[in-house]
Amino acid sequence: MKLMAKRHAWLSVVVLTVACAEDVTAPGACPDYCPAINIQVVDSIVPGSIERDSSYRGYVDPHEAIRMEVSRGGVAESRVVMRFFPFPEEINSDSIVAIDSFQISLSLRKRSADVSDVELAIFRLPPDVDAAMTFQELDPFFQDSTKLGTLIVPDSVTSGTISAVFPGTALANLATDSMVAAIGVAFGPTLTGFAHLTAIDSDSAATWLARYAQVDTASGELAEASDSVRVEMDTYVFPEIPPPDPTVLAVGGAPAARVLMRTVLPAYIVDSAHVVRATLILVPAGPALGAPGDTVFVRAQPLATDVGPKSPFLDALSDTLMLGKADIPVGAVEPVRIDVTHIVARWRNDPDLPRSFILMAGFEGQSLAEFRFHSSEGIESPIMQVTYVTPAFSGVR
Amino acid sequence: MRKALVGALVICCTIPEASQAQSSVYGILGLGFPGRPIGTRTRAGGGGMAMFDARSVLNPATAAGFQRISVAVVSGTTLRNYTVLDSTVEGLSDTRSPIGLIGGSLRRTPVSFALSYSTYLERTYDLFTEDTVVIRNEPIAVTDRISEDGAVVDIRGALGVRVNSWLSVGGAVHVLSGSSKRSTQRDFSSPDYFRVLDTDRLTFSGLGFSAGVLASLDPRLTVAAAIRSDGKLDTGLDSSTVGQFDLPLSYAAGLTIVPVPAVRLATTAIRTTWSGVSADLAAIGGANAFDHTWDIGTGVELGGSSRSGRVPLLLGFRYAQLPFSPTLEQPTEMSFSGGTNFVFASGRVLFDLSVERILRDGGRAEERAWYLSFSLTVSP
């Protein structure tokens, strides 16, 4: 038996060599030797595909935003308002003899790219400013008499920390103001453009106010000392912007506005075919609003269920950040196309999903940038352009 | 140990793809590529022994040959190339188990049985094509991948009766079953377009009957004949019937001559009428099917019975017509084969081996393949 096994051992080698081989993938020799499958791509502009679209405002107020806009020109002037935590009466338990200077540091996130020598004017504001104050109420404090100085943004700096130093007399009323300092920031008086500053609601907030003083130490000698305080409240203010007409919808702006769009795409597209590209086409009701040089960043967000303006999203915002977006330059009047394929394609596999979605700004409430377009009740209603593939198979052919 | 290794390997390779035969470029068309329900030993002899081999499922009368329980599993590996017009594809390979069988006898009766599965129609392919389509006034390159993986399987239950020392008769019921997973994928070169992936599963069902006779007219001459009728093949998609095809009627006859004890000559001829399928496919604009096919195999076995202890040599030649074509030219298949078998464990284990060179031509295509087949038969 052993001899027999040895004699036929080569069989194992042969079997091992050829068995289990698998490679059947080949280029198709069509049409002769291809299955009778017809993959048809259809591109269709679907009239009346949007209905019951509505705009809602108030999702993010200026004082809740992670960035704040300081701008001049465009739809309106915007100014940043900050109130700092109170300075201590002493510095490290040493009494203050004299304040030499103050230094303010701001965190710049974005600025007009095409403007040179951007200036940010710093003003002293009353210590009781709060987020409810309006542009008109604060406007009297943005005067030469309250101007602390100017912060020059080097042309090489598009983001990062920028700072300016003021003499100690700049905030001479600090003691009588309960050690509270408040400042306002306005865009340079001779320029038009914008700058976005990081707000305290951001994880990367880096705004602070430092003071440099001479103190009387415990040993009775004078010494130099410093400390700093962070922002307690910040917001930005601007003149009231007229609301859009009833047949016009708005996305973005401040407070942030969103649009809930409900679709009525035919079942033979959404349920039976494969949607490979879906584009929402919006016709502006006028030039995109905002500061000169800014951009309205609009994106479409799928919904888990449609319960109106507070409908929950299907995905976390970050998951779809790169999908379904449009960058609209301020002042643009061309129709806007937003890719919504990632939303529509999912409806086939999950018929329970609402056939609706939300249009919202990319970073809500951070600027005045706003896009207004005609609603389904307007003269040029939104429309969907859908590219879909019809089912390839039927039976056996 | 080595036998166990071979056995385990064969079983390992056959289970996942059980009941599927080799792929062919001709299997893309029509209902698929017709399977050959014959064992490895018969393959080695060009199919000439198909009407006489109990481990083939062509003639139910051969079930009478099972005197004790036997289990047989076949594994086949195809290595092939094909050319269609100017397009040549090389290096394709696949491994399948085209047939498996268990047979035995009913105690104290002249009746034996055989239960088997085999490929009836093979429907496996995997193709990709490239093209450019214009969408939204832009040319977009697309790559399509179309594949199907499955088969129509013939599950046969056969009874054979040894009427007397020279005559056996048999009958069988064939349950046609199986499914095929189909997949179409389209990728666009532009990231603006999502991939399309469409999959479904076709199911097959049908019923057939066969009957056969085996007669040893002389110790040196045996003849056999069989007839098989398969009814309708219903194809379903997602629990609904999407097609029905009138399956063929087959007639087969065979002859074995043993001029001297160490030499056995055998021939089998099968005629299959595909006219029903032809009409059904024509009605839906499908592939061109021919009214009938001939399949004729002839072989010789040198060296006597495998149970004699000597290692036999089998040689064979086969000519067959294929039923489906994209043109009016009917494709044909020729094969040259050889093989042998080895007996282990006092005849309780039989290992068959065959090598086949296959040449298929016609319908603006030609295909060349090597088919290596192994089978393991255990009679505990």
Write out pLDDT tens, residues B135-193: 999 999 999 988 888 999 999 999 999 999 999 999 999 999 999 998 889 999 999 99
Beta strand pairing call for A94-111 and A193-198: antiparallel
Smallest Cα–Cα separation from A355: which of A265, A259, A251, A249?
Answer: A265
Asked if A138 and A146 touch (Cβ cutoff 8 Å), the reply is no
From the CA atom positions of chain B, what is the Rg in Å?
22
CB contact under 8 A, B287 and A36: yes
Whether chain A has a CB inside 8 Å of the CB on B354: the answer is no
Residue among A24, A66, A212, A266 nearest B183 (CA): A24
Residue B14's pLDDT is 45
The answer to whether the CB of B176 falls within 8 A of the CB of B205 is yes
Query: Is B194 in contact with A12 (Cβ distance < 8 A)?
Result: no
Q: What is the reported pLDDT for A20?
A: 56
Interface membership of A43 toward B (CB under 8 Å): yes
Residue A15, chain B, CB below 8 Å: the answer is yes
Cβ contact, residue pair B127, A392, below 8 Å: no
Contacts of B198 in chain A (CB under 8 A): 274, 389, 391-393
Query: Has residue B362 got a pLDDT over 90?
Result: yes
Cα separation of A361 and A56, whole Å? 12
The minimal CB distance from A43 to the residues B77, B84, B135 is found for: B135
Question: Does B89 contact A341 at a Cβ distance shorter than 8 Å?
Answer: no
**Residue A232 in tokens:** 């307690």
Cβ–Cβ < 8 Å for A55, A298: no
Alpha helices in chain B (DSSP H): 2-14, 40-44, 275-283
Distance CA A384, CA A279 (A): 6
The answer to whether B117 touches B153, Cβ cutoff 8 Å, is yes
Task: Of A180-184, A269-273, B250-254, B291-295, give the lowest mean pLDDT range.
Answer: A269-273
Distance CA B34, CA B32 (A): 6
Q: What is the C-alpha separation between B37 and B88, in angstroms, rounded?
A: 29
- DSSP single-letter state for residue A303: B
Strands B33-34 and A274-282, how do they pair? unpaired
Average pLDDT over every residue of B6-20: 42
DSSP B16: T
Task: Examine residue A312 and say whether the peptide bond preceding it is cis (omega within 30 degrees of 0).
Answer: no
Element (H, E) at B12: helix B2-14
Q: Out of B2, B28, B200, whose CB is closest to A393?
A: B200
Give the domain range for residue B107: 2-378
Kindly state whether B341 is in contact with chain A, defined as any CB-CB distance less than 8 angstroms: no
Does the beta-carbon distance from A33 to B202 stay under 8 Å? no
Selecting from B13, B127, B193 the residue whose C-beta is nearest the C-beta of A34 gives: B127
Q: Any bridge partners for residue A121, and if so which?
A: A150, A186
Selected residue of B129, B145, B148, B247 to mutate for chain A interface (largest A Cβ count, 10 A): B129
| A280 touching chain B per CB within 8 A | no
Q: How far does A325 lie from chain B, in Å, by closest CA?
A: 12
Range 341-380 of A in CB contact (< 8 A) with B:
341-342, 345
- Across all residues in chain B, what is the average pLDDT? 89
Does B219 contact chain A (CB < 8 Å)? no
Position B309 confidence tier, pLDDT thresholds 50, 70, 90: low
Q: Are residues B9 and A16, on separate chains, in Cβ contact within 8 Å?
A: yes
Distance from CA of A278 to the nearest CA of B (A): 9
CATH number for position B146: 2.40.160.60
Amino acid (one-letter) located at B138: E
Per-state percent for chain B, helix, strand, coil, to nearest 5: 10, 65, 25
* Alpha carbons B232 and B58: distance in angstroms, whole number: 19
Answer whether residue B294 shows pLDDT above 90.
yes
Closest residue of B to A345, CA-based?
Answer: B194
Task: Show Cβ contacts of residue B197 under 8 Å, excluding neighbours closer than 6 positions.
Answer: B183, B184, B185
| Cβ–Cβ < 8 Å for A298, A325 | yes
How many beta carbons lie within 10 A of that of residue B359, not counting itself?
13
Chain B nearest-CA residue for A22: B94
Chain A positions touching B326 (Cβ under 8 A) are 31-33
Per CB-CB distance under 8 Å, the chain B contacts of A395 are 202, 235, 237, 242-243, 284
Short-list B59, B30, B92, CA closest to B322: B30
Q: Does the CB of B319 have a partner CB in chain A at under 8 Å?
A: no
**Which residue in B has a C-alpha nearest to residue A340's C-alpha?**
B192
Please tell me if residue B194 touches chain A, with a CB cutoff of 8 Å: yes
Residues of A in contact with B356 (CB under 8 A): none
End-to-end CA distance of chain A: 54
- pLDDT class for B2, splitting at 50, 70, 90? very low
CA dihedral in degrees (A34, A38, A43, A44; nearest 10)?
180
Q: What is the pLDDT of residue B21?
A: 44
Chain A closest-CA separation from residue B169 CA (Å): 36
Number of C-beta neighbours around residue B261 at 10 A: 11
What is the β-pairing status of strands B349-362 and B365-378?
Answer: antiparallel
pTM for the predicted model, two decimal places: 0.79
Average pLDDT over every residue of B91-115 = 92
* Nearest CB to A33 within list B84, B285, B353: B84
3-state helix, strand, coil in chain A (%, to 5): 15, 45, 45
Provide the shortest C-alpha distance from residue B34 to chain A (in Å): 15
Ranges of beta strands (E only) in A221-367 are 222-237, 248-252, 257-263, 274-282, 295-302, 325-329, 336-339, 356-361
By Cβ distance, the residue of A25, A27, A345 closest to B194 is A345
Q: Tokens for A201?
A: 């609601």
Say whether residue B8 is in contact with chain A using an 8 A CB cutoff: no
- B9 DSSP assignment: H
Question: Are the C-beta atoms of residues B340 and B313 closer than 8 Å to each other?
Answer: yes
Residues of A in Cβ contact (< 8 Å) with B84: 29, 32-33
Name the nearest CA neighbour of B181 among B143, B151, B145.
B151
Q: Residue A24 and residue B126: Cβ atoms within 8 Å? A: yes
Using an 8 Å Cβ cutoff, are B171 and B211 in contact?
A: yes
The neighbouring-strand residues paired with A269 are: none
Radius of gyration of chain A (CA): 31
Reduced to 3 states (helix: H, G, I; strand: E, B; else coil), residue A320 is helix
- B79–A contact, CB cutoff 8 A: yes
* Regions in chain A scoring below 50 on pLDDT: 1, 3
Residues of B in contact with A340 (CB under 8 A): none
Q: Sign of torsion, CA A258 A259 A260 A266?
A: negative
Asked if B184 and A23 come within 8 Å (Cβ–Cβ), the reply is: no
Q: How far is the alpha carbon of A344 from chain B, nearest alpha carbon, in Å?
A: 11
Residue B216's pLDDT band, with cuts at 50, 70 and 90, is: very high
**Yes or no, beta carbons of B125 and A35 under 8 Å apart:** yes
Question: B29: pLDDT confidence band, cut at 50, 70 and 90?
Answer: confident
- Across the interface, which of B9, B129, B353 has its CB nearest the CB of A28? B129
Closest chain B C-alpha to A161 CA, distance in angstroms? 37
Distance from CA of A312 to the nearest CA of B (A): 25
Contacts of A345 in chain B (CB under 8 A): 194
B17, B26, B184: which to substitute to probe chain A, counting the most A Cβ within 10 Å? B184
Alpha-carbon distance of A378 to A380, in angstroms, equals 5
**DSSP label at residue B282:** H
Paired sense of beta strands A222-237 and A79-84, if any = antiparallel
**3-class SS of residue B369:** strand
Count how many domains chain B has: 1
